[in-house]
A and B are shown apart, each in its own frame.
Chain A
Amino acid sequence: MQSRLPILVFALVMAAIPFVPSMPPFWIVLLDNIGLAALVAMGLVLLTGVGGLTSFGQAAFVGFGAYTTAVLTTSYGLSPWLTLPLSLVVSGLFAVLLGLITVRLSGHYLPLGTLAWGLGLFYLFSKLEFLGRNDGVSAIPPLSIGTFKMLSPGSIYYAIWVAVLVSALLTMNLLDSRTGRAIRALRRGHVAAEAFGVHTPRAKLLVFIHAAVLAGLSGWLYAHLQRAVTPTPFGAHAGIEYLFIAVVGGAGYVWGGVLGAAIVVILKEVLQSYLPLILPGSGQVETIVFGIMLVALLQLAPGGVWPWLMAFFPERTGGRKPDTSLKLETRPRLPGQGSVLLQVEKARKQFGGVVAVNNVSFDVQAREIVALIGPNGAGKSTTFNLITGVLSATSGSISVLGRKVDRAPPQEIVKLGISRTFQHVKLVPDMTVLENVAIGAHLRGQSGPLASMLRLDRADEAKLLAEAARQIERVGLAEQMHQLAGSLSLGQQRIVEIARALCVDPLLLLLDEPAAGLRHMEKQQLAKLLRDLRDGGMSVLLVEHDMGFVMNLADRIVVLDFGTKIAEGTPATIKTNPEVIKAYLGVAA
């Protein structure tokens, strides 16, 4: 976990600023605005930078927060403190509503969709009678504690920055948790996350709501700072501006949002006040210069300013090794050999006219290593995808421990104790090995997002990390535990995937080409590991091209060719099977 010291220093500096003698009041106003923008940008960091969901519509959520408090305090005379939760709830509810529609959109539909409803809501704000149409709502009461009214920018300053700091801490806590890992895995596509039980649409909706609530908080503060609300600050341009605050600061970093807000707000202010002195008489010069500087900034630092700045500081080396004495509950193992764990019966998968898997039947028994081999394009990975629920079979059935799972989604399959690795490594490259592996234990923890934000998840979290560390040691990567997964060699990344799959505490481990990219010694270690796992009560189904590796390891081999099973048996019988030789070497001479 990152050190809390810099944050404490930052908080103290921010608290001291208003006490600096002869501090121009105007600077405090600027800091207020920075804080307000930072709140929205922080939500976008989580949504866009971390979760990969681009939203142009955040200004609308600021609007929901601001209008809720504006209407309730002026028309119904509610206390602003009472409207705070209401503002957040209204923003949150609209986020659920819009999120249910939008977060399932992939790629570029999402940002464009948010742009469209952002615009629609802006026009709605400016047309609705009870929101005061274009004139908005004025004479909003100030925030007050007892008889102390926060009328000046200097007094609401503390409310704003306390909100920023608390939100930043909660957001960082969230990211550093079970739920946070699920969110961070979203950007790399949903297949890997779902294979370990993450409900990705729910995780996306969660970040969407989080971002909207932060925006609503910003709106609530804005309404009580300005004490008047008009539609203009919640329009499309504002929504776009929030997004580029996040991108300029560094969209992947919570503090990037704050830094971005500072850069953009100050830059705009400087341009507005000084440009007319240099280029007098011309109207919108600051917009022009602002736009140009933005493009220039992106060309110089496309990742944002925060990571660029952090590169100057020495990298913190390693984290603490989790206490591996903590244990999670384990699944009961199957008794002895002979019981059928996985039964594939006449499984068939067609993609249009192509039959990728053609009525394939085989089974995997308890404590057995089965290898699935065949030339490229034989349908091995498709079979894996059918078993793990990534694809659903056109016909035939697949059952686990006698239970049919043909239509079950990946999240259900993994609950039954089937975990897998991928042919094309699917790790989150900017997460450490430990964090990546801990995703495997996702289903074995219980803490939800609220518990994570409030740090009530520590006992649960320690056990998950302990399990992850144990599995990393088991596969022999203890040295690399705190390195970023993306910095490892491809062979090592495959091993990390195995550790992640082991975190599920599986009954059946599906390995898709685990030995590819490994050196000879590493292959031997892997074979030993797999035998140990089998002797410990686990079954393994593996796809592999290295025949030496397979023949020495597997108890039984299933051979596929063009989607059809052509042979099954012990390594010795497969080696001499004429069909298999023909498939691999062409027609026998």
Chain B
Amino acid sequence: MNTTIMLFLLQDGITNGAIYALLGLALVLVFAVTRVILIPQGEFVTYGALTYASLASGQMPGTAKLALAMGIVACAFDLFVARKALHARLVLRSFFANIVLPAIVLAVTLYFAAQKPPVAVCIALSLVIVAMIGLYLYRIAFQPLAHTSVLVLLIASVGVHLALQGLGLLFFGAEGQRGPAVLSGAFTAGSLRFTGQSLTVYGITIAFIVGLWLFFGLTLYGKALRATAVNRLGARLAGIRTTLSGQIAFLLASVIGALSGIMIVPITTLYYDSGFLIGLKGFVAAIIGGLVSYPLTAGAALVVGIVEAFSSFYASNYKEVIVFMLLIPVLLLRSLAAPAVEEEKD
């Protein structure tokens, strides 16, 4: 191998790794706050990517309608739960957040879709749409299960993944799509060519990691989220609405997912079911990070991306095998360093 190939593979690996890092962070975040292992994270990626690509090519994405439909269901859930004590304020708030908001977004999307909007508008709309889907998803599928075991949440997560993936096929068809680059242009340094797109990926990943770090360290909401992650009951007793924490976690996860999708879709063709595998690689990183550590997860994601790039060059047949088997030595290490006293959980 010569240095050029190596540098190229390294660059490719880091670009992918940065995306996995973002997804891994989102998974850690959601798990820590809600105990949900978010398998549909991959769907947020494809929804974001394909919504963006559809809008950019002047098509109306079905996700905007899905957001409205889910909003209506979420509103129905709200009203059903509060049926014994319906205040006008509560009804209005739920109605506005769950129905009026997605309806407005739908109208705006309809307006823009017809006229091939500029890239910035496409990005903004895709993010808003997927963020709403994430938010309503928590309300509909996970909030009623918040008290159950990790296993039940996990299975529900699988159910959501199946439903969303099926809907993805319905909305975007079996054909793959590519979107326009977020930042076009490129420059060359030595033998390496940096595209604007890959620089965007690095920039946004770093911005998000720093942003999350600031959010959790400095803001009251961030601290509330951390408190919920450590101890749900304790957080509730301290007056933190754990439902709100869950909503914020899902909101962040869906935005991160959609953003990752928007960043990848100019580089690789995405299909309605591509998200699952991409999400799983974020998972691998998250597991290596122990589902708790953000820096470790980010580092592990880079390793996953680089290993993937190199193995696709040398043993492309066994690319996936190698990436997933990467976990075994990590798990071995974790086994050896198993905690001395483990408290029971249920």
Q: Which residues of A are interface residues toward B (Cβ below 8 A)?
A: 48, 54, 101-102, 104-109, 111-113, 115-117, 119-120, 123-124, 127, 187-191, 236, 240, 243-244, 247-248, 251, 282-295, 298-299, 302, 390-391, 426
Is B295's beta carbon under 8 Å from chain A? no
Q: Which of A112, A191, A247, A283 contacts B283 (CB 8 A)?
A: A112
Residues of A within 8 A of B342 (CB): 106, 189-191
Give complex CA distance A290, B162 in Å.
8
Q: Are the C-beta atoms of B166 and A244 separated by less than 8 Å?
A: no
Closest to B141 in A: A295
Give complex CA distance A282, B272 in Å.
15
Residues of A within 8 A of B141 (CB): 295
Q: Are the C-beta atoms of A120 and B154 separated by less than 8 Å?
A: no
Q: Which of A283, A284, A291, A426 contacts B159 (CB 8 A)?
A: A291
A215 to chain B, nearest CB (A): 18
Give complex CA distance A227, B280 in Å.
32
Is B37's beta carbon under 8 Å from chain A? yes
Is B170's beta carbon under 8 Å from chain A? yes
Is B155's beta carbon under 8 Å from chain A? yes
Question: Can you spell out 5 A-B residue pairs with CB atoms less than 8 angstroms apart?
Answer: A112-B37, A117-B324, A120-B328, A127-B317, A127-B318
Residues of A within 8 A of B158 (CB): 240, 243-244, 291, 294
Tell whether A243 pairs with B155 under 8 Å between CB atoms, given A119-B320, A283-B170.
yes
Q: Are the C-beta atoms of B287 and A302 separated by less than 8 Å?
A: no
Residues of B within 8 A of A187 (CB): 344, 346
A48-B151, A119-B320, A123-B321 known, 18 other contacts, Cβ within 8 Å: A54-B154, A105-B335, A106-B338, A109-B334, A112-B37, A117-B328, A120-B325, A127-B318, A189-B343, A191-B344, A248-B155, A283-B170, A284-B165, A284-B166, A287-B162, A299-B156, A302-B145, A426-B344
Q: Are the C-beta atoms of A120 and B324 separated by less than 8 Å?
A: yes
Residues of B within 8 A of A248 (CB): 155
Give complex CA distance A283, B167 in Å.
9
Is B14's beta carbon under 8 Å from chain A? no
Q: Are the C-beta atoms of A294 and B340 separated by less than 8 Å?
A: no
Residues of A within 8 A of B287 (CB): 109, 112-113, 116
Is B341's beta carbon under 8 Å from chain A? yes
Interface string of B127-150 (1 = CB under 8 A from A): 000000000000011001100111
Q: Which residues of B are interface residues toward A (Cβ below 8 A)?
A: 31, 37, 140-141, 144-145, 148-152, 154-156, 158-167, 169-170, 174, 280, 283-284, 286-287, 290-291, 317-318, 320-321, 324-325, 327-328, 331-332, 334-335, 338-346
Residues of A within 8 A of B343 (CB): 189
Q: Which of B37, B317, B335 contacts A104 (CB 8 A)?
A: B335
Residues of A within 8 A of B283 (CB): 112, 115-116
Give complex CA distance A258, B341 in Å.
36
Residues of A within 8 A of B328 (CB): 101, 116-117, 120
Closest to A426 in B: B344
Residues of A within 8 A of B164 (CB): 291
Q: Are the C-beta atoms of B31 and A291 separated by less than 8 Å?
A: no
Q: Are the C-beta atoms of B159 and A294 separated by less than 8 Å?
A: yes
Q: Which of B31, B162, B317 contacts A108 (CB 8 A)?
A: B31
Give complex CA distance A391, B342 in Å.
12
Give complex CA distance A298, B321 in Å.
33
Closest to A385 in B: B341
Q: Are the C-beta atoms of B324 and A119 separated by less than 8 Å?
A: yes
Give complex CA distance A188, B155 in Å.
21
Closest to B158 in A: A240
Q: Are the C-beta atoms of B321 and A109 separated by less than 8 Å?
A: no
A281 to chain B, nearest CB (A): 11
Q: Which of B152, B166, B321, B345 contacts A302 (CB 8 A)?
A: B152
Q: Are the C-beta atoms of B154 and A294 separated by less than 8 Å?
A: no
Tell whether A284 pairs with B334 under 8 Å between CB atoms, given A120-B324, A294-B158.
no
Q: Are the C-beta atoms of A295 and B321 separated by less than 8 Å?
A: no
Tell whether A247 pairs with B335 under 8 Å between CB atoms, given A108-B150, A189-B344, A391-B341.
no
Give complex CA distance A188, B343 in Å.
9
Tell whether A287 pairs with B150 under 8 Å between CB atoms, given A112-B37, A243-B155.
no
Q: Which of A108, A244, A287 contacts B165 (CB 8 A)?
A: A287
Closest to B39 in A: A240
Q: Which of B152, B166, B280, B338 contacts A291 (CB 8 A)?
A: B166
A303 to chain B, nearest CB (A): 8
Residues of A within 8 A of B332 (CB): 101
Give complex CA distance A188, B342 in Å.
10
Residues of B within 8 A of A191 (CB): 341-342, 344
Closest to A186 in B: B344
Give complex CA distance A124, B325 in Å.
10
A422 to chain B, nearest CB (A): 11
Closest to B137 in A: A295
Q: Are the C-beta atoms of A287 and B163 separated by less than 8 Å?
A: yes
Closest to B143 in A: A299
Residues of A within 8 A of B341 (CB): 191, 390-391
Residues of B within 8 A of A243 (CB): 154-155, 158
Q: Are the C-beta atoms of A298 and B331 separated by less than 8 Å?
A: no
Q: Are the C-beta atoms of A107 and B154 separated by less than 8 Å?
A: no
Tell whether A111 pairs with B324 under 8 Å between CB atoms, given A187-B346, A294-B159.
no
Residues of B within 8 A of A298 (CB): 145, 148, 152, 155-156, 159
Q: Are the C-beta atoms of B324 and A54 separated by less than 8 Å?
A: no
Closest to A133 in B: B317
Q: Are the C-beta atoms of B37 and A105 separated by less than 8 Å?
A: no
Closest to A102 in B: B331
Closest 8 CB pairs of A and B: A189-B344, A291-B163, A294-B159, A291-B162, A287-B166, A288-B166, A120-B324, A284-B166
Q: Which of B145, B150, B152, B335 contacts A101 (CB 8 A)?
A: B335
Tell whether A302 pairs with B324 under 8 Å between CB atoms, given A106-B339, A113-B287, A288-B167.
no
Q: Are the C-beta atoms of B325 and A294 separated by less than 8 Å?
A: no
A269 to chain B, nearest CB (A): 16
Residues of B within 8 A of A282 (CB): 170
Tell whether A291 pairs with B320 under 8 Å between CB atoms, given A112-B37, A117-B327, A251-B151.
no
Give complex CA distance A92, B76 in Å.
49
Give complex CA distance A558, B335 in Å.
39
A51 to chain B, nearest CB (A): 12
Give complex CA distance A288, B163 in Å.
4
Give complex CA distance A119, B166 in Å.
21
Give complex CA distance A4, B142 in Å.
39
A356 to chain B, nearest CB (A): 13
Closest to B319 in A: A123
Give complex CA distance A314, B141 in Å.
33
Give complex CA distance A115, B276 in Å.
13
Give complex CA distance A239, B165 in Å.
17
Tell whether A285 pairs with B155 under 8 Å between CB atoms, given A112-B283, A120-B321.
no
Q: Which of A247, A289, A426 contacts B152 (CB 8 A)?
A: A247
Tell whether A295 pairs with B324 under 8 Å between CB atoms, given A107-B345, A284-B170.
no
Residues of A within 8 A of B145 (CB): 298-299, 302
Give complex CA distance A545, B263 in Å.
63
Residues of B within 8 A of A390 (CB): 341
Give complex CA distance A343, B317 in Å.
63
Residues of B within 8 A of A287 (CB): 162-163, 165-166
A31 to chain B, nearest CB (A): 24
Q: Are the C-beta atoms of B151 and A247 separated by less than 8 Å?
A: yes
Tell whether A109 pairs with B331 under 8 Å between CB atoms, given A116-B287, A117-B325, A291-B160.
yes
Residues of B within 8 A of A106 (CB): 338-339, 342
Q: Which of A113, A115, A124, A188 contacts B321 (CB 8 A)?
A: A124
Q: Are the C-beta atoms of A244 and B155 separated by less than 8 Å?
A: yes
Give complex CA distance A302, B151 in Å.
10
Q: Are the C-beta atoms of B155 and A104 separated by less than 8 Å?
A: no
A104 to chain B, nearest CB (A): 4
Residues of A within 8 A of B320 (CB): 119-120, 123
Q: Are the C-beta atoms of B331 and A123 separated by less than 8 Å?
A: no
Q: Are the C-beta atoms of B291 and A113 separated by less than 8 Å?
A: no
A53 to chain B, nearest CB (A): 10
Q: Are the C-beta atoms of B37 and A111 separated by less than 8 Å?
A: yes
Most chain B CB within 10 A, of A190, A236, A299, is at A299
